[in-house]
Chains A and B, each alone.
Chain A
Amino acid sequence: MPDIQPYLILSATLFVIGAAGVVARRNAIIVFMSIELMLNSVNLSLVAFSAQLGDVTGQILVFFVMTVAAAEAAIGLAIVIALFRRKQTLNLDEINILKW
């Protein structure tokens, strides 16, 4: 069984890169993809823990995270399409009012 420390450090690195994308980018779709990146980094550490502890719960949690990510992608992209129809832009700084 490989040592899981490198996996956890890799997972942390990917998480931070994703977080940086969320705070620094202004394109709604790229922000969205950065969130997917963060979710995936967490999945990696869950699988690593599951491998170390010999417990399948971590992998099952990953399975649930994936279904939630799929639901989130469907809803999020529907919101993106609806926003783009209204504003003709995906710049998050310009999407700044709560109600039309």
Chain B
Amino acid sequence: MTLESVIFSVLAASAVGSALLVVTRRNPVMSALYLIVNFFCLAGLYLTLHAQFIAIIQILVYAGAIMVLFVFVIMLLNLGDERKLSDGVSWKKIVAAGFCAALLMEFVYILIYSEPSPAVMSASMATEIGTVEYIGSQLFTKFLFPFEITSLILTAAIVGAIVLAKRKLD
């Protein structure tokens, strides 16, 4: 085994493990913590694909901003008594798990038996593509319009969040 495949295996295993823990934990804070672990594993996987900008943004935006918001809200609502929410194992859950397993089988079957297209770029090109400079130059020329649209989305989200979460005075 090469070093790359060892790194991939470790990161992939911890990503899957933490993802399973996210959906099975009873306590939302523990779920959020495992989701952060999962995001870190994904950031490592992006690094193995030479996408360094995406990797650091993954930590900065997902782990550092979005998940802080989640933890903040969970703490604010103080969801202490979790017994009432968890509904044990029911037939609905078993059926859901069965469907999900079938979906996974389908995905894996398609991915394994489809003809992979050949890689078209060299390793030096790959490192160049993931840099901040290259992504920035593309973002502000070729993708300028969608970039401006995202700023509109974010503004709308800020206004929406404030309107929704504001306590009514009535």
Contact = CB atoms under 8 A, between A and B. Distances in A.
On whether A and B touch (CB less than 8 Å), the answer reads: yes
Interface of A: 1-10, 12-21, 23-27, 29-30, 32-34, 36-37, 40, 43-44, 47-48, 50-56, 59-60, 62-64, 66-75, 77-82, 84-85, 89-91
A30 to B, nearest CB: 5
Contacts of B8: 2, 6
B79 A29 contact: yes
B153 A37 contact: no
Interface in B116-169: 116-117, 119-123, 125-126, 129-130, 134-135, 138-139, 143, 146, 150, 153-154, 156-158, 160-162, 164-165, 167
Interface residues of B, number: 86
B54 A62 contact: yes
A19 B100 contact: yes
A24 B23 contact: yes
A91 to B, nearest CB: 5
Contacts of B50: 51
B73 A77 contact: yes
Interface in B52-99: 53-54, 57-58, 61-62, 65-66, 69-70, 73-74, 76-77, 79, 82, 84-87, 92-93, 96-97, 99
Most chain A CB atoms below 10 A, which of B22, B39, B53, B153: B22
Interface of B: 4-5, 8, 12, 15-16, 19-20, 22-23, 25, 28, 31-32, 35, 38-39, 42, 45-46, 48-51, 53-54, 57-58, 61-62, 65-66, 69-70, 73-74, 76-77, 79, 82, 84-87, 92-93, 96-97, 99-101, 103-104, 107-108, 111-112, 116-117, 119-123, 125-126, 129-130, 134-135, 138-139, 143, 146, 150, 153-154, 156-158, 160-162, 164-165, 167
A-B interface, 8 closest residue pairs, ranked by CB to CB distance from nearest: A54-B121, A21-B23, A71-B157, A12-B107, A78-B164, A78-B165, A20-B100, A78-B161
B62 A40 contact: yes
B61 A70 contact: yes
Contacts of A79: 164
A75 to B, nearest CB: 5
A57 to B, nearest CB: 8
Contacts of A36: 35, 62, 66
